[in-house]
Amino acid sequence: MKVKRGEKCFCCNRYYSRYLACDGLVYKNSRVLLVKRKTGNREGGNWALPGGFISWNETAPQAALREVWEETGVKGKIIKLLGVYSDPQRDGMQNVAAVFLIRPLKEKDRIDKQEVEEKQWFDKDSLPQNIAFDHKQILKEFFEKED
């Protein structure tokens, strides 16, 4: 579904807004943690950075850490903001993403089975081909700066 400017939601009749997603690029030992999105979700079956929408009364860094924990079982620490991605073409809903570099501190063997099929660590030379949204570009930019 692609939303056009000025279009109203079919459920609530409000105008669509551009929402903020907060993603975590979890990086350890030259590898990044990706999640395979559950079939049925947007971009289902594709790999992505763990993340999701900011909740009421939470900061963007708090949202990124929460989403990483919920989806992957990784507790982490924000190292820095990697960037804000707002290209209207980045996804069909024109969501804006704040992407944070996260250093993992603890990892439990768990995933959010409602949203995620699996999690896996990848190095820059073994990234999967089917990466959701604009996360392939975000990873490319990150690894170029790391070299």
Q: CATH number of the domain that 87 lies in?
A: 3.90.79.10
One of 107, 118, 141, 144 is an active-site residue; which one?
Answer: 118
Is 48 domain-assigned?
Answer: yes
Is 24 domain-assigned?
Answer: yes
pLDDT tens-place values along the chain, 147 residues long: 666 777 776 666 666 677 899 999 999 999 999 999 987 777 789 999 999 999 988 999 999 999 999 999 999 999 999 999 999 887 777 889 999 999 999 999 999 999 999 999 999 999 999 999 999 999 999 999 986
pLDDT for residue 16: 63
Domain extent, residue 61, equals: 20-146
Is 66 domain-assigned?
Answer: yes
Structure tokens at 66: 């929460």
Domain count, the chain: 1
pLDDT for residue 7: 73
Is 36 domain-assigned?
Answer: yes
Angle at 19 between CA 142 and CA 54, to 5 degrees: 75
Whether 107 sits among the annotated catalytic residues: the reply is no
Is 46 domain-assigned?
Answer: yes
Contact, 125 vs 94, CB < 8 A? no
Is 8 domain-assigned?
Answer: no
Contacts of 3 (CB under 8 A, 6+ apart): 16, 92, 93, 94
Spatial distance between the Cα atoms of 127 and 83, rounded to a whole number of angstroms: 20
Give the per-residue SS3 of 11-39: CCCCECCCCEEEEEEEEECCEEEEEEECE
What letter would DSSP give residue 5? T
